[in-house]
Structure 1
Amino acid sequence: MLDDTLKAQLKAYLERLQKPVELVATLDDGAASQELRELLEDIRAQSDKITVVEKNDADVRKPSFLITNPGVDTGVRFAGVPLGHEFTSLVLALLQVGGHPSKEAADLLEQVKNLEGDFHFETYYSLSCHNCPDVVQALNLMSVLNPRITHTAIDGGVFQKEIEAREIMGVPTVYLNGQHFGQGRMELAEIVGKIDSGAARRDAAKLNAKEAFDVLIVGGGPAGAAAAVYAARKGIRTGVAAERFGGQVLDTLDIENYISISKTEGPQFAAALERHVRDYEVDIMNLQRAKALRPAAVEGGLVEVELDNGAVLKSRTVILSTGARWRNMNVPGEEQYRTKGVTYCPHCDGPLFKGKPVAVIGGGNSGVEAAIDLAGVVKHVTLLEFAPELKADAVLQRKLRSLPNVDIIVNAQTTEVNGDGHKVNGITYKDRETGEVRQLLLEGIFVQIGLLPNTDWLKGTVNLSRFGEIEIDARGHTNVPGVFAAGDCTTVPYKQIVIAAGAGATAALSAFDHMIRTTAPA
């Protein structure tokens, strides 16, 4: 099952186990069960602290296995064979059940231990989903820390009937006590905050008590991270308030054009950004959504940023690096069938449409790459492009046109997402040349038509372009004294990671220059 290199790496990790671990497998005669049996034997062979037993339990999914300690009947459960992106989740679960401590903040771990109530979580994932491991690992850790919390991570590709019965068309999807709890990437603090009713109030009180910053950065993507490093290196008080550290990079799969890094994946790159920022004395306030910006009342005064939880942060200068989000089609049916066939992540959700016909909306690089990836999984892909020709790079177009199960339709204006009330069953588009309205029968729609800046909360405060981008000059200045901006939320052309990082550095240096000039003695 595991190759020799992976076995050697796993053996090294399992040397950190501090107490015995028991893997309790519930299997049947199927191929997936046989694959899981081989995986568990490979794991057992790497440590004398691990034992494997098989237990025939009619009330438990097959194939699945429980990671627990001998004599204990609770722990972390995986339903399916956790390879791919979830292999890391499996290794972490083995270590944590085996007594290896988590690196999460001590106060957050204590909060999990003190949660009152019974919480039974189920997470549906796909092996190709790069957002799923964060959710799976967070819930696994919660079930290790608190005996009243259980978690089962379920491979949607293995348990396809459950996916269809619950009409799940996007991963990760989480259920709590049988009811839909959430979908998409979630971190431990975010999950805990949703079930701990007093968390937001306590968090706001802590934030309100913070002293004023010299530089406050709103947003934690490449631009925000670069700004934080450059500001902190000046020895000034620096803070980052981010809705999710890493930003849009977390939703990116392959990164092959960041100079000096030949190839990496978005979540890995985002983790490296955060590690670099934490090398300095930067106050990172994650999972914080900005609500309002209040300019300084007098020159050299403090700028205020109000957060969704009611807290107000103050700073001598502010750098806005709130990034962008996927653009919607804004047609009837899109919102109704979001996560019910309308999706924005082909890498995460593609496996859920195995053997089914789908459409990709958008003929740029993102759309063509999505269609190429999906063609290897789904039955058929129809790519719809509004313009008369595709806008993707020539090499991508050649690859796309070589695939036998892909159709390309240009001059296609999507007008409606069709469905049966529960899930998508088609799409309506207009031929922009003839005016003819046509329909396609399909089961999934992957929207890849660009990005929108996250600047709605800034309307009426800083100057925005007609596209909603923050207007800045060459130094990152906005029209508001002491307020700067950088990255995909601004008018800087070419929304690229390397450009955003450079813009973040520029904004930080400009903020520092502004600060020393406005506070110099007369």
Structure 2
Amino acid sequence: MLSDNAKVLLKKKFEGLTDKVSLITFTQEFECRFCKETRELVLDIAAASPLIEAKVLDFVKDAGEAKRLRVNKIPAIAITGKKDYGIRYYGVPAGFELPVLVDDIIDVSRGATTLPATVKARLAEIKKPVHIQVFVSPTCPYCPAAIRTSHQLAIENTNIRTDVVEISEFVYLAQKYSVMGTPKVVINEDTSFTGAQPPEFFIEQMLAALRTSFNPMYS
């Protein structure tokens, strides 16, 4: 799926990896729309570094593993390192999203991000589970920033998990959450905003969601 030039650039980029990273991809025997592209992309990325392992699992046959990783639709990619940071991609991360996936892999390998110390200190206030969904489209120039921020927050605080959802592949979810523009961020089902916002704004919205949520799952 990746060009030869892109593969060369990836190998150079991944020279900075420090620990192993697993790209756990869920598809199924009768592949869904974009399952093939997602699987091929993951295999190409894994081939760029000996520290990246690609695991291709069947969503039906490996239902137990899907449940453990909280994967509930396909195609899906879970990025894990020394631990599971709750980073998930639903849909093929193409277009503007591919560079973000690469940066995610590097961060997970290092187990740390470049977020400022002030942001990390504020993140410590998040002491209950937070589920962030970032709804994106491949041609959206602002989506990568929202994805990147949400994933950095998840890496720095284990109470946070983040799903990136391609609206063109999961139209029913775009309708459910009234996605009129991207990126749209939904936090714990009942707090949302649109646009690429700074980490501080994400944190304020997460704290607001924790204060207002009546869902026992997040209490």
Shorter-chain TM-score tier: 0.7 to 0.9
State the AA in 2 paired with 1:82: P
Distance 1:7 1:38 in 2: 13
Alignment partner, residue 110 of structure 1? 121
The equivalent of 2:42 in structure 1 is: 40
Q: 1:30 aligns with which of 28, 32, 38?
A: 32
Instruction: Give 1:132 shift.
Output: 1.1
Matching residue's letter, 1:42: D
- Deviations for 1:39-82, whole angstroms, at most 9, x for unmatched residues? 00001100111111133337521001100125x44431111111
Secondary structure at 1:12 match in 2: helix
Tell me if the contact between 2:39 and 2:56 (Cα under 8 Å) persists in the aligned partners. Answer: no
The within-5 A match list for 1:421-460 is none
Q: Distance in 2 between matches of 1:137 and 1:91?
A: 10
How far, CA to CA, are the matches of 1:39 and 1:142 in structure 2?
25
CA contact (8 A) 1:16 1:100 kept: no
Please tell me whether the aligned partners of residues 75 and 97 of structure 1 are also in contact (alpha carbons under 8 angstroms).
no
Mapping for residues 464-475 of structure 1, pairs under 5 Å: none
8 A Cα contact 2:22 2:54, kept in partner: yes
What letter matches 1:45 in structure 2? Answer: A
When the two structures are superposed, what TM-score results if normalisation uses the length of structure 1?
Answer: 0.36
Q: Secondary structure at the match of 2:134?
A: strand
Shift of 1:103: 2.9
Q: Does 1:194 align with 2:205?
A: yes
SS at match of 1:25: strand
1:183 deviates by 1.1
Does the 8 A contact of 2:112 with 2:155 survive in 1? no
Residue in 1 that maps onto 2:212: none
Task: Name the residue aligned to 1:122.
Answer: 133
Say whether 1:173 aligns with 2:184. Answer: yes
Instruction: Say if 2:78 and 2:86, in contact at 8 Å, map to a contact too.
Output: yes
Report SS of the residue matched to 1:67: strand
Aligned runs of 1:79-118 on 2, under 5 Å? 79-99=90-110, 101-118=112-129
SS at 2:34's partner residue? helix
| Alpha-carbon shift at residue 196 of structure 1 (Å) | 4.2
- Structure 1 pair 134/30, CA: closer, same or farther in 2 (3 Å)? same
Q: How does 1:61-76 map to 2 (within 5 A)?
A: 61-69=73-81, 72-76=83-87
Alignment of 1:306-455 (within 5 A): none
Change (3 A) 1:110 1:15: farther
Please report how far the alpha carbon of residue 113 of structure 1 lies from its aligned counterpart in structure 2 after TM superposition.
4.1
TM-fit CA distance, 1:99: 0.5
Kept after mapping to 2: 8 A contact 1:18/1:100:
no
Secondary structure at 1:8 match in 2: helix
Segments of structure 1 that go 5 or more residues without pairing to the other structure are 198-522
Q: Which amino acid aligns with 1:53?
A: K
Cα distance in 2 between the residues matched to 1:110 and 1:7: 37
User: Residues 260-281 of structure 1, C-alpha deviation per residue, up to 9 Å, x if partnerless?
Assistant: xxxxxxxxxxxxxxxxxxxxxx
- For the 8 Å contact 1:172–1:185, the answer to whether it is kept is yes
Aligned to 2:88: 77
Superimposed CA distance per residue, residues 417-466 of structure 1 (whole angstroms, 9 cap, x where no aligned partner): xxxxxxxxxxxxxxxxxxxxxxxxxxxxxxxxxxxxxxxxxxxxxxxxxx
| Cα deviation digits, residues 268-315 of structure 1 (max 9, x gap) | xxxxxxxxxxxxxxxxxxxxxxxxxxxxxxxxxxxxxxxxxxxxxxxx
In the TM superposition, what is the alpha-carbon distance from 1:195 to its structure 2 partner?
3.1
Secondary structure of residue in 2 paired with 1:123: strand
For the residues of structure 2 that align with 1:195 and 1:162, how far apart are their CA atoms? 21
Alignment partners' CA distance in 1, 2:84 and 2:97: 23
Report what 2:10 is aligned to.
10
Paired residue type of 1:14: F
Give the secondary structure class of the aligned counterpart of 1:54: strand
Q: How many Å apart are 1:7 and its aligned residue? A: 1.1
User: Partners of 1:104 and 1:166 in 2: how far apart?
Assistant: 29
Identity %: 24
2:214 paired residue number: none
Query: How many residues are paired up?
Result: 196
Query: Which structure's residues are more often helix, by fraction?
Result: 2
Amino acid at match of 1:168: V
Alignment partners' CA distance in 2, 1:184 and 1:91:
22
Larger RCO of the pair (alpha carbons < 8 Å, separation 6+): 2
Q: Is the 8 A contact 2:113 2:155 kept in 1?
A: no
Q: Which of the two has higher C-alpha Rg?
A: 1
2:199 partner amino acid: L
* 3-state SS in 1 of match to 2:48: coil
Amino acid paired to 2:40 = E
Alignment match, 1:161: 172
Aligned to 1:213: none
For 1:156, give the aligned amino acid: I
User: 1:483-502: per-residue Cα shift (whole Å, max 9, x none)?
Assistant: xxxxxxxxxxxxxxxxxxxx
* Residues 119, 177 of structure 1: 8 Å contact kept: yes
| Displacement after TM superposition at 1:110 (Å) | 3.0
Measured against aligned partners, the alpha-carbon deviations of 1:382-413 in whole angstroms (never above 9, x if no partner) come to xxxxxxxxxxxxxxxxxxxxxxxxxxxxxxxx
Shift of 1:12: 1.1
Question: 1:60 and 1:24, CA in 2 relative to 1: closer, same or farther beyond 3 A?
Answer: same
Task: Report the 3-state secondary structure (helix = DSSP H, G, I; strand = E; otherwise coil) of the residue aligned with 1:135.
Answer: helix
Letter in 1 for 2:188: N
